Chain A
Amino acid sequence: MAAVTPLLLLLLLSSAPSFSSGSRNAYNINGRVKIPQGLGTKGYALPGRMSNVKVLLNGGQNITFLRPDGYFSFHNIPAGTHLIEVSAIGYFFSPVRVDVSARNPGKVQAALTENRKGLSELVLEPLREEQYYEIREPFSIMSLLKSPMGLMVGFMLAVAFLMPKLVENMDPEEMRRAQEEMRSQGVPSLSSLLPGGAMN
Chain B
Amino acid sequence: MAIMSFIFVFFFFSSLQPILSLYEDQVGLMDWHQQYIGKVKQAVFHTHKTGRKRVVASTEQNIIATLDLRSGEIFWRHVLGPNDVVDGIDIALGKYVITLSSGGSILRAWNLPDGQMVWESSLHGPKHSKSLLLTTNLIIEKDNSLIVFSNGRLNAVSCIDGEVLWKKDFEEESLEVQQVIQPPGSDFIYVVGFAASSQFETYKINAKNGELLKHESTAFSGRFSGEVSLVSSETVAALDSTGSILLTISFHNGKISSQQTPVSNLLEDSPGLAVIIHSSVTGIFAIKTDAATIFIRVIGEGKLEVVEKTNHETVVSDALTISEGQQAFALVQHAGSNIHLTVKPAHDWDSNLLKESIKMDQQRGFVHKVFINNYIRTDRSHGFRALIVMEDHSLLLLQQGAIVWSREDGLASIIDVTTSELPVEKAGVSVAKVELNLFEWLKGHVLKLKGTLMLATPEDIAAIQYMRLKSSEKSKMTRDHNGFRKLLIALTRAGKLFALHTGDGRIVWSHLLQSLHKSESCRQPIGLNLHQWQVPHHHALDENPSVLVVGRCGPSSDALGVLSLVDSYTGKEFSSLRLVHSVAQVIPLPYTDSTEQRLHLLIDADKHAHLYPKTPEAIDIFQSEFSNVYWYSVDDDNGIIKGYALKTKCSGNVADEFCFDSRELWSIVLPSESEKIITTATRKLNEAVHTQAKLIADQDVMYKYISSNLLFVATVAPKASGEIGSVTPEESWLVVYLIDTVTGRVLHRMTHHGSQGPVQAVLSENWVVYHYFNLRAHRYEMSVIEIYDQSRADNKDVWKLVVGNHNLTSPVSSYSRAEVITKSQSYFFTHSLKAIAVTLTVKGITSKQLLIGTIGDQVLALDKRFLDPRRSVNPTQAEREEGIIPLTDSLPIIPQSYITHSLRVEGLQSIITVAAKLESTTLVFAHGLDLFFTHYAPSRTYDSLTEDFSYALLLITIVALVAAIFVTWILSQRKELQDRWR
Contact = CB atoms under 8 A, between A and B. Distances in A.
Nearest to B833: A59
Nearest to B907: A60
B106 interface: yes
B453 A139 contact: yes
Given A97-B778, A196-B973, A63 B79 contact: yes
Contacts of B122: 28, 73, 75-76
Contact of B832 (A59, A130, A153): A59
Contacts of B972: 164
B964 interface: yes
Contacts of A131: 895-896
Interface string A53-66: 01010111111111
B855 A132 contact: no
Interface in B751-774: 758, 773
Interface string B59-100: 000000000000000001011111110000000000000000
A92 B726 contact: no
B22 A49 contact: no
Interface string B759-798: 0000000000000010101111000000000000000000
B893 A60 contact: no
Contacts of B902: 44, 89-90, 132-133
B433 to A, nearest CB: 33
A51 B964 contact: no
Interface stretch (B297-305, B313-321, B684-692, B954-962): B954-962
Residue from B22, B79, B117, B964 with most neighbouring chain A CB atoms (10 Å): B117
Given A64-B120, A148-B13, A133 B896 contact: yes
Contacts of B76: 51
A76 to B, nearest CB: 7
A139 B452 contact: yes
A133 B20 CA distance: 10
Interface string A130-171: 111111101100000011110111011100100010000000
A76 B105 contact: yes
A94 B830 contact: yes
B454 interface: yes
Contacts of A11: none
Interface in B111-152: 111, 114-120, 122, 124
A82 B724 contact: yes
Contacts of B379: none
Interface string B16-30: 001101111101000
B831 A95 contact: yes
Nearest to B954: A149
A182 to B, nearest CB: 15
Nearest to A86: B856
Contacts of A85: 831-832, 855-856
B832 A60 contact: yes
B148 to A, nearest CB: 15
Contacts of B895: 92, 130-132
Contacts of A130: 895, 898
A109 to B, nearest CB: 12
A62 B115 CA distance: 19
B740 interface: no
B326 interface: no
Contacts of A50: 116
Contact of B778 (A92, A113, A138, A151): A113
A166 to B, nearest CB: 14
A196 B969 contact: yes
B953 interface: yes
A51 B106 contact: no
A80 B832 contact: no
Contact of B724 (A58, A138, A151): A58
Contacts of B976: 199
Interface in A74-104: 75-76, 78, 80-83, 85, 87-90, 92, 94-95, 97
Range for the number of chain B residues in contact with chain A: 35 or more
A133 B777 CA distance: 32
A114 interface: yes
Contact of A153 (B6, B81, B725, B960): B960
A94 B834 CA distance: 17
B857 interface: yes
B105 A147 contact: no
A156 B972 CA distance: 16
A67 B968 CA distance: 73
Contacts of B775: 81
A139 B740 CA distance: 57
B629 interface: no
A17 interface: no
Nearest to A89: B902
A38 interface: no
A68 interface: yes
B904 interface: yes
Given A89-B904, A160-B964, A51 B84 contact: no
A198 interface: no
A151 B9 contact: yes
B116 A49 contact: yes
B10 interface: yes
Given A51-B114, A151-B13, A153-B961, A60 B105 contact: no
Given A80-B725, A149-B953, A153-B961, A134 B19 contact: yes
Contact of B14 (A44, A56, A135, A148): A148
Contacts of A83: 724-725, 773, 778, 832
B24 A66 contact: no
Nearest to B831: A85
A59 B81 CA distance: 11
A67 B896 contact: no
A194 B780 CA distance: 70
A115 to B, nearest CB: 10
A114 B79 contact: no
Given A133-B21, A133-B22, A156-B961, A61 B81 contact: yes
A56 B855 contact: yes
B81 A51 contact: no
B33 interface: no
A59 B453 CA distance: 48
Given A51-B116, A139-B454, A132 B13 contact: no
B723 to A, nearest CB: 5
A51 B896 CA distance: 24
B901 interface: yes
A61 B724 CA distance: 9
A132 B21 contact: yes
Given A60-B834, A89-B904, A82 B725 contact: yes
A131 B81 CA distance: 27
A60 B82 contact: yes
Contacts of B778: 81, 83, 97, 113
B21 A92 contact: no
A14 B896 CA distance: 32
Contact of B105 (A75, A92, A114): A75
A66 to B, nearest CB: 6
A4 to B, nearest CB: 14
Given A68-B117, A133-B23, 15 more contacts: A44-B24, A65-B120, A81-B775, A81-B778, A83-B724, A88-B856, A95-B830, A113-B830, A130-B895, A134-B19, A135-B23, A139-B452, A139-B453, A155-B6, A164-B972
20 contacts: A44-B24, A50-B116, A51-B76, A58-B723, A59-B723, A61-B724, A63-B79, A63-B80, A65-B120, A83-B725, A89-B904, A92-B895, A133-B27, A136-B23, A149-B954, A151-B9, A152-B961, A155-B2, A164-B972, A199-B976
6 nearest interchain CB pairs?
A87-B856, A130-B895, A63-B81, A59-B832, A75-B122, A80-B725
Interface of B: 2, 6, 9-10, 13-14, 18-19, 21-25, 27, 76, 78-84, 105-106, 108, 111, 114-120, 122, 124, 452-454, 723-726, 758, 773, 775, 777-780, 830-832, 834, 855-858, 890, 893, 895-896, 898, 901-902, 904, 953-954, 956-957, 960-961, 964-965, 968-969, 972-973, 976
